[in-house]
Amino acid sequence: MPKLIVVLGDQLSPALSSLQHLQPEDVILLAEVAEEACYVKHHKHKIILLFSAMRHFAAVLKQQGMSVYYLQYGNVNNMTSAVSAALQQHPSLEQVVITQCGEYRLQQEIDQWSQHFSLPVQVLDDDRFICTLSRFSQWASGKKQLRMEYFYREMRRYTGLLMQNDQPEGGKWNYDADNRKACPSDMQQIAPLTFSADDITEQVKMLVLKHFPDNMGEVDNFCYAVTGKDARLAFMHFVEQQLPRFGDYQDAMLLDQPFLFHSICSVYLNCGLLDVRWMCNKVAAAYHSGAVPLNAAEGFIRQLIGWREYVRGLYWLLMPGYATENYLQATRELPAFYWHGKTRMRCMQQAISSTIEHAYSHHIHRLMITGNFALLAGLSVKQLTDWYLAVYADAYEWVELPNTLGMALFADGGVMASKPYAASGAYINRMSNYCQHCHYKVKDTTGDAACPFNALYWHFLHRNEQQLAANPRLALAYANWRRRSEADQNAILAKAEHTLIHLEQL
Ligand code: DLZ
Ligand code: SF4
């Protein structure tokens, strides 16, 4: 049966399940469509990356002799119309095939296709992930708590990565405790490999400038890889140059060094330009050759086969209800500085300016700076999850939602995290040199110049006492709060209230 194979913008992998068993009469559809480009206000770099990578991917398929139907931006509104146009153009096609997509929203649209087009529609498993969704739900079934660590151990056993027979390399499963060093201030980051734009990317940059002029970011400094070949070069640069220090400094932050030793390869992995098994094998080989220490190799592999697979499994297990969870009833308006980065809080300015410049910030910026601030200030879960989905080049809902709603905002009430990742300025001061370059005083909790994170931290604990006080992992924090005099508590709460009313002025 001749088939229409639909390949989405984050499915740019030659080994994609839908592209196996291709027959000469099959047609492959790729489409730049308004609904995908506009369902949140994506960063310009994210749109350039995807459109340019889609065009490059289509060009390779064509060179290999395949029949490709490519719709450039402006022709159709959504994926359903794109399929309709392709079927009209190729009336001999009798079936639609697609690999399962990464967002519940779009999967629902796809699930209508067979009725809409009166054709069989085959949705294939996305085997670019190591853990199938059915395997994940088997693992999750009957468990009270779905802790990543136990899932990760299963994935280590299953893949054999960093295993010696049935034992973990080095005797421990997890070297997280060796991933939390602060950086000396004079340390220099090793930046990721960058790429200059070819003609295809230049054309896409013009398109984005024309159709998305008000979206975050500038087109001129776009420098991501847009082909699998270049993405692999970028990754090998990471393995050789950055990875040896990635382990120690995974959680560290330094002024004006937005990448430190992070790979940024999630941008490539999540749209399909890199393959997770290939990446893990390269990292394991670098460890076995003695080029990188175990805490770096294990820390990296944990993110990929542990954390990443775990959040995807959770997403599909818990959707659609997960998207509307709001355990702490956080509804405050997102301050405008999330969009323009102009704030006197140095840590927030650094995390947001990296976001604006590169459509990227690393995980500690996301979790402990912009995420932590939103948690403490009770910012709207919906607005913040939409923000993360829009501004990061690696963000699709399957990965973004659990990380933001569950991990950063504790809005799922503890499905993912055993306690909220709430921290005062002291944590940020320990892990960065930002506070030395800040308008605010990190040691102060009240007073005009006090670090806003401090009073907000206590306000957060106080206002959520009902939901959180019984959590044993917060017992010490609550004991510290209760030890303070009533006058102290009132002064701190008043300071926090004032801060919350004047968030825009921070
Ligand atoms: C994010 C995105 C954007 C900006 N544009 C397109 C597009 O025009 N065509 C397309 O096929 N995919 C695009 N994507 C990625 C999709 O939104 C993504 O495939 C789904 O959200 C599922 O993860
Ligand atoms: Fe951030 Fe507070 Fe440190 Fe300023 S003093 S950088 S606001 S933690």
324 assigned to some structural domain:
no
Same domain, 420 and 493: yes
Q: Is residue 279 lining ligand 2, measured as CB closer than 6 Å?
A: no
Pocket lined around ligand 1, Cβ cut-off 6 Å: 8-10, 31-33, 36-37, 42, 47, 50, 101-103, 106, 396
pLDDT tens, the chain, 506 aa long = 999 999 999 999 999 999 998 999 999 999 999 999 999 999 999 999 999 999 999 999 999 999 999 999 999 999 999 999 999 999 999 999 999 999 999 999 999 999 999 999 999 999 999 999 999 999 999 887 888 999 999 999 999 999 998 899 999 898 777 667 777 778 787 788 999 999 999 999 999 999 999 999 999 999 999 999 999 999 999 999 888 777 667 777 888 888 877 888 999 999 999 999 999 999 999 999 999 989 889 989 999 999 999 999 999 999 999 999 999 999 999 999 999 999 999 999 999 999 999 999 999 999 999 999 999 999 999 999 999 999 999 999 999 999 999 999 999 999 888 899 999 999 999 989 999 999 999 999 999 999 999 999 999 999 999 999 999 999 999 999 999 999 999 999 999 999 999 999 99
- Beta-carbon count within 10 A of 377 CB: 21
Same domain, 294 and 346: no
Containing structural domain, residue 48: 3-124
Q: What is the CATH number of the domain that holds 462?
A: 1.10.579.10
The best mutation among 348, 445, 453 to test binding of ligand 2, ranked by most ligand atoms within 8 Å of the C-beta, falls on 453
Q: Which two tokens stand for residue 229?
A: 């070949």
Same domain, 453 and 367: yes
Buried b or exposed e, range 332-354, using 16+ CB within 10 angstroms: eebbebbbebebebbbbbbbbbb
Same domain, 160 and 292: yes
Same domain, 259 and 142: yes
Residue 14 CA to ligand 1 centre (angstroms): 17
Residue 49 to residue 55: CA distance in whole angstroms: 10
Nearest CA to ligand 2 atom 2: 451
Residue 145 to residue 143: CA distance in whole angstroms: 5
Give Cα separations from 424 to 44, 353, 430 (angstroms): 33, 21, 11
Phi/psi at 96 (5° precision): -115, 135
Same domain, 255 and 367: no
323 assigned to some structural domain:
no
Same domain, 104 and 176: no
Q: Is residue 345 lining ligand 2, measured as CB closer than 6 Å?
A: yes
The best mutation among 343, 370, 372, 428 to test binding of ligand 2, ranked by most ligand atoms within 8 Å of the C-beta, falls on 428
Residue carrying the six token digits 């660590």: 149
Which ligand has the shortest distance to the CA of 455? 2
| Contact indicator for 121, 114 with CB cutoff of 8 Å | yes
Nearest CA to ligand 2 atom 8: 425
Residue 318 to residue 53: CA distance in whole angstroms: 31
332 assigned to some structural domain:
no
51 assigned to some structural domain:
yes
pTM equals 0.95
Same domain, 120 and 144: no
Model pLDDT, residue 354: 95
Same domain, 469 and 353: yes
Between CA 172 and CA 179, with CA 174 as vertex, the angle to 5 degrees is 125
Last-in-domain residue among 63, 90, 124: 124
Model pLDDT, residue 350: 97
Residue 44 CA to ligand 2 centre (angstroms): 29
Residue 116 CA to ligand 1 centre (angstroms): 21
Which ligand has the shortest distance to the CA of 430? 2
Q: Is residue 161 lining ligand 2, measured as CB closer than 6 Å?
A: no
346 assigned to some structural domain:
yes
Same domain, 118 and 255: no
**Residue 464: alpha-carbon gap to chain centroid:** 27
Residue 205 to residue 284: CA distance in whole angstroms: 37
Long-range contacts of 54-59 (CB under 8 A, 24+ apart): 54/9, 54/12, 54/30, 55/200, 55/204, 56/200, 56/226, 56/227, 57/7, 57/12, 57/30, 57/227, 58/28, 58/30, 59/200
Same domain, 384 and 475: yes
Q: Which two tokens stand for residue 414?
A: 């503890």
Mean pLDDT of the chain: 94
| The residue type at 320 | P
Q: Is residue 451 lining ligand 2, measured as CB closer than 6 Å?
A: yes
Q: Is residue 423 lining ligand 2, measured as CB closer than 6 Å?
A: no
196 assigned to some structural domain:
yes
463 assigned to some structural domain:
yes
Last-in-domain residue among 286, 318, 350: 318
331 assigned to some structural domain:
no
Model pLDDT, residue 309: 97
Nearest CA to ligand 1 atom 23: 102
Model pLDDT, residue 178: 67
Same domain, 467 and 386: yes
| The residue type at 107 | Q
Q: What is the pLDDT of residues 205-240, one digit of tens each?
A: 999 999 999 999 999 999 999 999 999 999 999 999
Q: What is the CATH number of the domain that holds 51?
A: 3.40.50.620
Domain total in the chain: 3
